[in-house]
Chains A and B, each alone.
Chain A
Amino acid sequence: MKKDAAYDAVVIGGGHNGLVNAAYLAKSGLKTLILEQRPLIGGAAITEELVPGYKFTTFSYALSLLRPEIVQDLDLVSHGLLVLPMTNSFQPGLNGEYLLLGPDSDVNFHEISRHSVEDAESYRDLSHLIDRVCHALKPLVDEIPPNSMSQDPADLAEMAALNQYLEDLPADIRAMLEKFTTCSAAEILDDYLECDLLKAQIASSGIIGTKAGPRSKESGLIWLFHKLGEYDGVQGEWGFHKGGNGGFTQVLARAFESFGGTIRTNAGVDEVIYKNGKVTGVLLGDSTRIEAPIVVSALDPRRTFMQLVDPADLPSDLVQAIRDFKFQGTASKVNFALSDLPKFPGLNGHRNAFTGFTNIGPSFDYLEEAFADCLAGRYSRRPFLDCCVQSTVDPDMCPPGKHIMSCFVMYTPYHLAESDWDSERENLGDTVEATLEEFFPGFRKLVEHREVVTPLDIERVVGLSEGNIFAGEMFSPQMFLNRPAPGWNQYRTPIAGYYQCGSGTHPGGGVMGGPGRLAAKQILNDHSTATSPAR
């Protein structure tokens, strides 16, 4: 057995959370190593030049949830952070109608008024209320959550403080928070708005990456979660990192290395080594053994608890919770290289329509129909698409005059009832093209190259179980106090020195970095307690 130099900390997985976590550890002076199974770091936040000159954001494709503290703490601007604004949100309808919302609230008022003058006003009320709810949640999102299972007085006090905090919130915020955690996006939206086109556009935030339709009760929380992000302090707004999210993880890697950290690629970890309940290191696929008193898994909960360690060594309630943890990935990506911008007949060449998100899902019924296919075990015949023509925001994504279009596709269940993804991959690509052709006549002729990424591909390439982009569904029984399991939501594991920092921990998925940051906080707390001189 080969043996490598010892490190203070080894982080398994070089996705954005692994990188954030490792960077904080390295910054605090720990000799830190990142082990990444793939030839490139970034996890599900990578950019690949599949065709010379054309950059594809293979998986994740925009930024909003990234915690602003991380940008400051890790000095990411000096390492090349550059987040371009995505200013528009375009919702094409059927029959040539559309909704184009942009950066100016007065213009948006009149745009919504074309469909419903009352909605135009209610939309402002709703937006402001959501902003206030998100603001109230920030302290919970950006702190280590309390342990609801512990009887330790300190933990009990934290739980009491949490309950007090929630009780002290203004009544309207509390009521809305209650709705978000218990109601569907459709139920909430029906209280405020009447225009289906607008409601469907908003509700799309409630179904992204989740096995839920806009009328499923889980969609309220998913919607709220996606509103927690910001662009320069404007809540719920999105940006596009220069060169895609792969550009962003390269920035994280540079920051990590500037703090003295080491990255090793093509270095998949087979198992975490521990003795007498205490971690001692990791064993790589090539039998290399690396010793470290701190090992952090940035992988999802199933791989963290069921694969890297022997579940027999873990408490049975934890093992049961992880077994029950729902992954059930439902999202795919179809990315295009285009010879020109798609054309929407009603828009008369309005170029700016594409400088943001284009949402294909014009009504609740459309979305529910797409979801019904998923429940029946097949991919949507007319899918919901969240598209970005990224070259309109960053022209360096492809050669001058050409375009890159990223399409996030719902619903594509990991488990197909009557087929398999290797057989269906290109059929899915054709289905997406057909849907786009329906909304943008002539679309097919623009396609120069296509990349189809199914949930199976996400699992195979990135390692996310069942291809769930959030490293596990973000249903309320799997969030906050329970992410990934009650009592194990504070980044520790039953094995001393072995920690978890992936999107399967609080606050959750998306290119947020919160789990990586908070896990580092916990690790450094524990480490300083362990190494401080005896009193």
Chain B
Amino acid sequence: MKKLAPKTTPFHECLAALNETGIWKHWSGYLAAPRYQYSTTSEYYAIRNSVGVFDTSPLFKYRITGPDTVRFLQLVMARDISQCQVGSAQYTCWCDPDGFVLQDGVILRVGEEEFWLTAAEPSLHYFRATASQLAFSGVTIEDISADYGILAIQGPHAFNVVSQLTGAADELRYFEMAQTEIEGCLSLISRTGYTGDLGYELWIPTAQAHRIWQCLMKAGEDYNITPIGLDALKMARVEAGLLLLDVDFRSSRFAWVDEQRESPIELGWRWMFRKLAEDKREFIGREAIETQLTERTNRWVTVGLNIDWHDYKRVHMEAGIMPPKHELYCESTRNIYRRGSKEWTYAGYATSFLFSSLLKKPIAIAKLPNELAKPGTEVDLEIAVIRKPRNVLAQVQRMPFFNPPRKTQVPPGGNSP
């Protein structure tokens, strides 16, 4: 019988040699390491104090080209792609006609009529079918997933490392990109990432992946460059307030009922539509989103929760145990109740929970109705203490939880405390 072995990324052999734990997970059918060393915290702090490298190759990668590309993307994407100049990138989402989010992703404008896009779920057919329905003949969508591997180099020393490989990093501002040669290999660099820190992502042609990996490791050696796994990355992304598909929301495409679907407004992406009044595009989902914006008909908002440390400690100490803090990251649903009600009155739920080692407190990403979504609002978050439900005080907070100046600083500085 033929074995259906998991796929491996172009960097797999290099990373496998560094995986001390031998543990692999599956991510979009590829082998991906949850962690490389026994301490996730050490990997996490590479992102916050030195430099971490994450293999993000399992993302789906598409190249969209042709004379109709801008007009096509203006209709498909929720944000106006014409606002994204050549050499820039945009974090955006695409919705269904009811204004529910299908996916989010980062799109890079490589040329006037050339865009590269990463997505968590396959979308080739969706984009092609949509182009055909909208009768755009001058747009070509190609799947280039197998042609490139992507490395995210993230952390205060990311620039010090990447600048040894390419001069292109010198000029890049936050969410800018450039095509560049690295060791004679045509690559693409963007100042983007999923950590909320200073960082870059490098698109490396698959055939050159091993060679460029070695160059990167050599450049990073003196800066303690550390391969980081999914667990450390996810901790960082919660602090950065970045949502994760299938954890903080799901694609409308595979939802059964609208209760499982969410609009960009409900996901906390109101900021994407700041200029909607001047924006005359008839993009997919516009009507529903506009109604939610003007009539506040969104059912909930995704917000940050700042969990009260003293209360968190108290409920555990009362049970006779130490409050769990170490490497505590959870993707399970936790209920939220209105504070002060005698009965537990359901208010919403948290999707991601993290005891932030950096911030020294528990934080969460949560869904709350409009009237409870204002920063400073107090709610009760249910947690399990020795398997029994206990409520702890939490306060609504604007995300991101952590937003260091170095993330957007030009030129990118080193690591001053």
Interface residue ranges, A against B (CB under 8 Å): 68, 71-72, 76-77, 80-82, 84-85, 87, 102-104, 107, 131, 135, 231-235, 242-243, 247, 250, 352, 355, 392, 394-396, 400-401
Q: How far is the CB of B48 from chain A (nearest CB, A)?
A: 7
- B417: contacting residue among A72, A80, A85, A103, CB under 8 A: A80
Query: Separation in Å of the B327 CB from the closest CB of chain A?
Result: 8
Task: Give chain B residues whose Cβ lies under 8 Å from the Cβ of A234.
Answer: 325-326
**Nearest Cβ on chain A to B50's Cβ, whole angstroms:** 5
Say yes or no: is B39 at the interface (Cβ < 8 Å to chain A): yes
Please give, as numbers and ranges, the residues of chain B lying within 8 Å of A231 by CB-CB distance. Answer: 326
Contacts of A135 in B (CB 8 A): 321-322
Residues of B within 8 A of A103 (CB): 38-39, 41-42
Evaluate whether A77 and B326 lie within 8 angstroms (CB atoms) in the complex, with A72-B309, A87-B41 already known: no
Say if the beta carbon of B5 comes within 8 Å of chain A. Answer: no
Minimum CB–CB distance for A170 against chain B, Å: 10
- Among the 9-residue stretches B86-94, B337-345, B351-359, the one with 4 or more Cβ atoms under 8 Å from chain A is B351-359
**CB of B223 closer than 8 Å to a CB of A:** yes
B387 part of interface (Cβ distance < 8 Å): no
B388 / chain A contacts, CB cutoff of 8 Å: none
Q: How far is the CB of A99 from chain B (nearest CB, A)?
A: 16
The answer to whether B13 has its CB under 8 Å from any CB of chain A is no
Known: A104-B39, A400-B160. 10 other contacts (CB 8 A): A68-B313, A231-B326, A232-B357, A233-B325, A233-B326, A235-B322, A242-B417, A247-B417, A394-B49, A395-B223
17 contacts between A and B (CB under 8 A): A77-B358, A81-B360, A87-B42, A102-B38, A102-B39, A103-B38, A135-B322, A232-B325, A233-B355, A234-B325, A250-B417, A392-B224, A395-B222, A396-B414, A396-B415, A396-B417, A401-B222
How distant is the Cα of A118 from the Cα of B358 in the complex, in angstroms? 37
Q: B310 near A: Cβ within 8 Å?
A: yes
Contact B224 A232 (CB under 8 A): no
Q: Specify the chain B residue showing the minimal Cβ separation from A71.
A: B360
Known pairs A102-B38, A235-B322, A401-B222; A84 contacts B45 (CB<8 A): yes
A400–B222 touching, CB < 8 Å = yes
A243–B327 Cα distance when bound, in Å, is 23
Cβ of B67 < 8 Å from any Cβ of A?
Answer: no
Would A352 and B37 count as touching, CB distance under 8 A? yes
B157 contacts the other chain (Cβ, under 8 Å)?
A: yes
Give Cα A103 to B35, complex, Å. Answer: 13
Does B389 belong to the interface (CB within 8 Å)?
no
The answer to whether B42 touches A107, judged by C-beta atoms less than 8 angstroms apart, is: no
Is B71 an interface residue when CB atoms closer than 8 A count as contact?
no
List the A residue with the shortest CB-CB distance to B41.
Answer: A85
How far is B157's CA from A80's CA once the two chains are assembled, in angstroms?
A: 18
Chain B interface residue count, CB cutoff 8 Å, equals 34
In the assembly, what is the distance between CA of A81 and CA of B360, in Å? 9
| B360 contacts across to A, CB distance below 8 A | 68, 71-72, 76-77, 81
Q: Kindly identify which residue among B37, B41, B49, B160 contacts A232, using a CB–CB cutoff of 8 Å.
A: B41
Residues 306-319 of chain B, each 1 if its beta carbon lies under 8 Å from chain A, else 0: 00011001000000
B210 close to chain A: CB less than 8 A: no
Chain A residues whose C-beta falls within 8 Å of the C-beta of B414 in the assembled complex:
396
User: Would B326 and A400 count as touching, CB distance under 8 A?
Assistant: no
Interface SS of chain B = loop
Is the CB–CB distance between A87 and B326 below 8 Å?
A: no
Given A72-B309, A72-B360, A400-B223: A355 and B157 within 8 A (CB)? no
**Nearest-CB residue, chain A, relative to B310:** A72
Q: At the interface, yes or no: B323 with Cβ under 8 Å from chain A?
A: yes
Within 8 A of A (CB), among B281-308: none
A82: contacting residue among B48, B222, B325, B326, CB under 8 A:
B48
Residues A82 and B417 in contact in the complex (CB < 8 Å), given A68-B360, A71-B360, A77-B358: yes
Cα of A401 to Cα of B223 in the assembled complex, Å: 8
A233 CA to B309 CA, complexed, in Å? 13
- Please report whether the interface of chain A is mostly helix, strand, loop or mixed according to DSSP: mixed
Q: B111 an interface residue at 8 Å Cβ cutoff?
A: no
Q: Give chain B nearest CB distance to A240 CB in angstroms.
A: 10
Measured between alpha carbons, how far is A396 from B222 in the docked complex, in Å? 10
Contact B417 A243 (CB under 8 A): yes
User: Do B41 and A233 have beta carbons less than 8 Å apart?
Assistant: no
Assess the A107–B325 pair: CB atoms within 8 A.
no
Which residues of A have CB within 8 Å of B38?
87, 102-104, 107
Say whether B157 contacts A87, CB under 8 Å.
no
Answer yes or no: B324 CB below 8 A from chain A CBs: yes
Contact partners of A87 in chain B: CB under 8 A: 38-39, 41-42
- The residue in A104, A250, A392 that gathers the most chain B C-beta atoms within 10 A of its C-beta is A104
Which residue of chain B lies nearest to A75 when distances are taken between CB atoms in the complex? B360
CA distance A81 to B361 in the complex (A): 13
Residues of A within 8 Å of B45, CB to CB, are 84-85
* Residue numbers in A under 8 Å from B313 (CB-CB): 68
Report B17-45 residues with CB < 8 Å from chain A CB: 37-39, 41-42, 45
Expressed in whole angstroms, the Cα–Cα distance for A87 and B357 within the complex equals: 14
Q: Are B326 and A84 interface neighbours, CB within 8 A?
A: no
- The answer for the CA separation of A394 and B415 in the assembled complex, in Å, is 10
Q: How far is the CA of A352 from the CA of B325 in the complex (A)?
A: 24
Q: In whole angstroms, what is the CA distance A82 to B322 when docked?
A: 22
A85 touches B358 (CB 8 A): no
Q: How far is the CA of A107 from the CA of B414 in the complex (A)?
A: 35
Residues of B contacting A395 with CB < 8 Å? 50, 157, 222-224
For residue B42, which residues in chain A have a CB less than 8 angstroms away from its CB?
85, 87, 103, 355
Complex Cα–Cα for A247 and B414 (A): 17
- CB atoms of B417 and A233 under 8 A apart: no
Chain B residue nearest to A399 (CB atoms) is B222
* Contact partners of B355 in chain A: CB under 8 A: 232-233
A residues in contact with B160, CB < 8 Å: 400
Within 8 A of A (CB), among B111-160: 157, 160
Whether B361 lies near A72 (C-beta < 8 A) is yes
Which one of B37, B414, B417 has the highest number of Cβ atoms from chain A below 10 Å of its Cβ? B417
Distance of B182 from chain A, by nearest CB (Å): 20
- Give Cα A355–Cα B38 distance, bound, in whole angstroms: 12
Q: How far is the CA of A85 from the CA of B357 in the complex (A)?
A: 10
Q: Tell me, in angstroms, the Cα distance from A135 to B320 when the chains sit together.
A: 9
Contact with A along B176-219 (1 / 0, CB 8 A): 00000000000000000000000000000000000000000000
Question: Once the chains are docked, how many angstroms separate the CA of A339 from the CA of B49?
Answer: 22
Residues of B close to A243: CB separation below 8 A: 417
Nearest A residue to B309 via CB reads A72
Alpha-carbon distance A231/B360, docked complex (angstroms): 10
> How far apart are A127's CB and chain B's nearest CB, in angstroms?
13
Chain B nearest CB from A445 CB (Å) reads 19
Q: What is the distance, in angstroms, from B231's C-beta to the closest C-beta of chain A? A: 13
A242 to B323, CA, bound (A): 25
B313 to chain A, nearest CB (A): 8
Task: Give Cα distance in the complex from A104 to B41, angstroms.
Answer: 12
Q: Are B359 and A82 in contact (CB under 8 A)?
A: no
